[in-house]
Structure 1
Amino acid sequence: MTTNQIANRLVELCRKGEFETAQKELFAENAMSIEAQAGGGFEKETKGLKAIIEKGKQWNNMVESMKKLEVSEPMVASNSFACTMHMDVTMKNKDHMDMTELCTYEVKNGKIVSEHFFN
């Protein structure tokens, strides 16, 4: 897949909330995920597809309800792309989070090898 195809597919799946499907389909086995900051039970860096999928499961288990999920169209370069993701969620501990992150991705050999989130 080209970087453009990967970017569009990732956006399509994320808009449906199908994050694990996106990871299994589009990420390299040795991919790295870098959060904007450590906290909430999450490390700053997560290495490897299995660990990234597990991090997603942990996040899902913490969410009580999602009121809004919006993902922008991707901006694509030759081996990278970026989009914004806006989530309005209520956590199981009743904390409310309304956040927008810039999500950047690096692609090598037809797979996402890194994702980096910025607030």
Structure 2
Amino acid sequence: MTIEQIATRLAEHCRNEKFTQAQTELYADDAVSIEPYATPDFEKETKGLPALKEKDRKFNAMVEARYGSTVSAPLIAGNSFCFTLTMDVKMKGKDRQKFSELCVYTVKDGKIIAEQFFM
């Protein structure tokens, strides 16, 4: 897949909240995920596709209700692309809220090798 195809496909999966499917289809086995900072629930950096899938599973277990996600059109530069992702969710034990972040991805050999989030 080209970077344009990967970016379009990932944005589509994210709009449909199919994050696990996106990882399985588009990510390299040794992909890395970088958060803005560590939290009690998540490390700043997660390495390897199995660990990324576990991170996704853990986040989903914390969500009580989902009210939709929006994703901007991808912006592509070289071997990287980004888009904004906004999720409207109610986390367990918390009020409903919207999370908005800039998601930046790096691609190598037709697979996503890195994702980094900025809030």
Q: TM (normalized to structure 2)?
A: 0.96
Stretches of structure 1 lacking an aligned partner (at least 5 in a row): none
Structure 2: distance between partners of 1:60 and 1:5:
26
Map of 1:96 onto structure 2: 96
CA positional deviation for 1:92: 1.0
Map of 2:32 onto structure 1: 32
Structure 2: distance between partners of 1:8 and 1:68:
18
State the SS of the aligned residue for 1:102.
Answer: strand
CA positional deviation for 1:68: 2.7
Query: What RMSD, in angstroms, separates the aligned Cα atoms of the two structures?
Result: 1.0
State the SS of the aligned residue for 2:85.
Answer: strand
Displacement over 4 Å in runs of 4+: none
Structure 1: distance between partners of 2:86 and 2:12:
14
Map of 2:45 onto structure 1: 45
State the SS of the aligned residue for 1:39.
Answer: coil
Structure 2: distance between partners of 1:93 and 1:42:
18
Q: Name the count of aligned residue pairs.
A: 119
Stretches of structure 2 lacking an aligned partner (at least 5 in a row): none
Letter in 1 for 2:110: G
CA positional deviation for 1:94: 2.3
Task: Give the 3 Å change call, closer, same or farther, for CA 68–40 of structure 1 in structure 2.
Answer: farther
**What pairs with 1:4-23 in structure 2 (closer than 5 Å)?**
4-23=4-23
Q: Deviations over 1:33-74 (max 9, x none)?
A: 001221141000000000000000000000001123111110
Q: Does 1:72 align with 2:72?
A: yes
Structure 1: distance between partners of 2:105 and 2:67:
25
